Chains A and B, each alone.
Chain A
Amino acid sequence: MPVDDATPIAIQVEDLHKSFRIPTSRVDSLKERVVRPFATRDYRELRALDGVSFEIERGEFFGIVGRNGSGKSTLLKLLASIYRVDSGTIRMAGRMAPFIELGVGFNTDLSARENVVLNGVMMGLTPSEARNRLDAVIEFAELEEFVDLKLKNYSSGMLVRLAFSLLLEVDADILLIDEVLAVGDAAFQQKCADAFHEMKAAGKTIVLVTHAMAQVETYCHRAMLIDGGRVAAIGAPDEVGRQYLRRNFERAGDGGGADASGAGRDAAVRMLDASLLDAAGERVNSVEQGEKLRLRIRIEALEDFAALGVGYMIVNSSGIAVAQLRALVGGEPPPRVKKGERYEIETSADNLLAPGHYIVHCGINRVLEGGIALDLPSAIDFVVFGGDEDRGLVTLPQETATRPMGAGDR
């Protein structure tokens, strides 16, 4: 994305603050109010955003990343006018599709035809415009035969297609999207990518909010890292991505981290790098189904160990732990690891994972004494693409034998 001074600004955010009051004892009935009218209601002030400023240019595909709870979703909801700002200003040029998730507002009791009109009006079309665009929406979604079917009878794939083609047809200048791209099969992903290129060519601005760096590096021109309600980094996606991972590692290792599991308590190992590799040994963030899954980690021991092991937990987007991988540092039998020694451990496995988005939690363990030397939640994240739109968590390699049965068979 060539950035020059002439490029007009599409979104301008200045010194945005937003905090939520979390009641420590929630008073949500009138009865409690009446019974104890003067009971002091205690609030915990949660600062979700603390002085955020940035600008997005027209035609940019802008990624906002951050860990859970960093404030990125709050920022998106403020941009979308779902929450009200405490202080600071947001300015926008052009019409915004006020949707942050595909398919919000679909009524499953109504047909696709009615839903397209209703949703089109929600997104700012007039009813007649929405009716005129119905055919185009249905055609792009390839749902001509099902236009009068109630949405409750649609498959999830059909729903996503309908929602996505509707989003394309409403002609908004600015689109706000919250983690929707890791859905569907490879063909749909390709369709998304094509559509986004067209939007970019048409001068539309897209803001994508996600905690998955892989999506940002794939689609975005520029990215911003939000941490603790502040802008931690803004710039090229790969640079922001590196910062994001570095921060995750630091947090896991700095003793006071977010993980109470004892992660940082005795961080005796330093993480140098953790990545997913392709067949050529290059860092990647997606892997095709059936290819080898190659995970590489580089560590430095900060004290002496009798033996060290690496454990990976692969978690899918529903939060289900799908698979675990283990390796010993230095091979088998594990050697003593001395303070200051550095190791690179590469583990590969057949990729049987169903297409989708995955996060890898990584732990370095003291093999003989027991206990965790370093815990790295969300060390790596990647997308598995390819294959059919399978159900299930994994695709098992299968063999089938079949033959006709004769009359004598029982």
Chain B
Amino acid sequence: MPALQEVRGPSALGGGRQRFFDLLWLLAVTEFKRVYFGTVLGYLWSLIRPLMLFGVLLFVFTQIFRIGSEQVEYYPVMLLLGIVLFTFFQESTTNSVTAVVSQEGVVRKTQFPRLVIPLATVLTGLFNLALNLVVVFGFVLAFGVDPTWTWLLLPVALAFLFVFTAAMSAALSVLYVRFRDVAIIWLVVAQMLFYTTPILYPVTAFEDPTKEHLLMLNPLAVIFEQVRVWVLHEPQAPSAVEAAGGVAGLIPAAAIFVGVCVFAVWTFNREAPRIAEDL
């Protein structure tokens, strides 16, 4: 006969670590399978969207504005890589905003570790990203980029991207329960982040070190720039450290990164016990 134990109420992680990770994994896998097998074209849809965007932007920025093609040796590859990575960030966070609210039934009627809901959304996005990266690396090789050992560093950059995305997603999902205009605000902010990250243009496009340093305030810009350097190893592309003007120049971005993570943990822990009541 088990002994009496105090019931502690709902929390972000409640119900044991094993159950948390089991649930996280199962939810992400079933959602991924549902999208994968649920429609006729299945997974292709999650590839077609970034590819269409890629096609349009490639046309505009090589035929009309010519920003990229003149300064970047592998502009199409850089563009595609950036779009696929940003699609992961944008779709995961946007889907997470409404995730907790749309799982209302589960949240209000079962004891469920609340953090699983946004994290499963991000994990599903990560599965998509992994598949999309296979296509991207097909392009990379097709454009004649030689494989180098720095490719092995890509998971490090992806890990930072995943943590940042997960933190954003968790914070947004729980803030949306209280403030419904978070959804609209986030659309705008995500759009701003897209343009302040070197995806369409290389960092060097400014031809002004101060502006490069400013750009490196955005943690996403740091990650994306470093991915470009590691994957495409173009001699003229500055590393994130160089673009920021030294290691010290990266401190603000690192502070923002850590700040977002701390804010996410704090706000989620604060709100999690009351989500069911506020819905």
A interface residues (Cβ-Cβ under 8 A, vs B): 8-9, 12, 20, 28-31, 33, 58, 77-85, 89-96, 98-101, 104-105, 107, 109-110, 114, 117-118, 121-122, 124, 126-127, 173
Query: What B residues does A93 contact at CB under 8 A?
Result: 1-5
- A80-B110, A117-B26 known, 19 other contacts, Cβ within 8 Å: A28-B179, A30-B179, A30-B185, A31-B181, A33-B179, A79-B7, A81-B7, A82-B109, A83-B9, A84-B274, A91-B4, A95-B2, A100-B109, A104-B109, A109-B38, A114-B33, A122-B112, A124-B19, A127-B26
Whole-angstrom CA separation of A78 from B33 in the bound complex: 34
Given contacts A105-B106, A122-B112, whether A83 and B10 have CB atoms under 8 Å apart is yes
Whether the Cβ atoms of B23 and A121 lie closer than 8 Å is yes
Q: Digit string of B37-53 for contact with A (CB within 8 Å is 1, else 0)? A: 01000000000000000
A12 and B110 within 8 A (CB): no
Chain A residues positioned under 8 Å from B25 (CB to CB): 127
A8–B3 CA distance with the chains assembled, in angstroms: 9
Closest 4 CB pairs of A and B: A98-B111, A84-B9, A81-B111, A91-B4
Would you call B30 and A82 a contact (CB within 8 A)?
no
Does A81 lie within 8 Å of B181, measured CB to CB?
no
> Hey, which chain A residues are within 8 Å of B26, CB to CB?
117-118, 121, 127
> Contacts A89-B6, A92-B5 known; A127 to B22 CB distance under 8 Å?
yes
- In the assembled complex, the Cα of A9 lies from the Cα of B34 at a distance in Å of 44
- Chain A residues whose C-beta falls within 8 Å of the C-beta of B273 in the assembled complex: 84
Q: Which residue of B lies closest to A178 (CB)?
A: B109
Q: Which A residues are in CB contact (< 8 Å) with B19? A: 121, 124
Q: How far is the CA of A118 from the CA of B34 in the complex (A)?
A: 13
Q: Which residues of A contact B109 (CB under 8 A)?
A: 82, 99-101, 104-105
Contact status B182-A82, CB under 8 Å: no
CB-based contact B178/A28 at 8 Å: yes
Q: What chain B residues lie within 8 Å of A109 (beta carbons)?
A: 34, 38
B→A interface (CB under 8 Å): 1-10, 14-16, 18-19, 22-23, 25-27, 30, 33-34, 38, 105-112, 178-182, 185, 273-274, 276-277
Q: Does more than half of chain B's interface fall in helix, strand or loop, or is it mixed?
A: helix
* Residue pair A121, B22 in contact (C-beta under 8 Å): yes
A-B residue pairs in contact (CB < 8 Å), sample of 14:
A30-B182, A31-B181, A77-B276, A84-B274, A89-B6, A93-B1, A93-B5, A98-B112, A99-B109, A101-B109, A107-B30, A121-B23, A127-B26, A173-B2
With both chains docked as a complex, state the minimum distance between the C-beta of B97 and any C-beta of chain A, in angstroms: 13
Q: Is the CB of A98 within 8 A of B15?
A: yes
A6 and B146 alpha carbons, distance in the complex (Å): 76
Which residues of chain B come closer than 8 Å to A80, judged between CB atoms? 110-111
**Contact present for A91 and B8 (CB under 8 Å):** no
List residues of chain A with CB within 8 A of the CB of B185.
Answer: 30
- CA of A115 to CA of B2, assembled, Å: 29
Give the Cβ gap from A31 to chain B, nearest Cβ, in Å. 6
> Are B10 and A82 in contact (CB-based, < 8 A)?
yes
Q: Check A30–B1 contact: CB distance below 8 A.
A: no
Q: Which of B5, B27, B179, B276 is A118 in contact with, Cβ under 8 Å?
A: B27
B276: chain A residues within 8 A (beta carbon): 77, 82-83
CB closest residue in chain A, given B108: A82
Return chain B residues, CB-CB under 8 Å to A122: 23, 106, 110, 112
Given contacts A58-B1, A93-B3, contact A126 B18 (CB under 8 A): yes
B110 touches A104 (CB 8 A): yes
**A89 neighbours in B (Cβ, 8 Å):** 6
**Residues on B with beta carbons closer than 8 Å to the beta carbon of A79:** 7
A80, A81, A90, A92 — most chain B CB neighbours (10 Å) = A81
User: Which of B14, B107, B112 has the most A CB atoms < 10 Å from its CB?
Assistant: B112
B28: min CB distance to chain A, Å:
11
Chain A residues contacting B182 (CB-CB under 8 Å) are 30
Q: Tell whether A110 pairs with B34 under 8 Å between CB atoms, given A29-B181, A80-B111.
A: yes
- Given A28-B178, A127-B26, A173-B2, A82–B34 Cβ distance below 8 Å? no
Please tell me if the beta carbons of A28 and B30 are within 8 angstroms of each other in the complex: no
A105 touches B179 (CB 8 A): no
Contact A104 B106 (CB under 8 A): yes
**Chain A positions within 8 Å of B107 at CB level:** 82
Instruction: Determine the distance from Cα of A9 to Cα of B3 in the docked complex, in whole angstroms.
Output: 9
Provide the bound-state CA to CA distance between A118 and B27, in Å. 7
- Measured CB to CB, the closest approach of chain A to B180, in angstroms, equals 6
Complex Cα gap A17–B22 (Å): 33
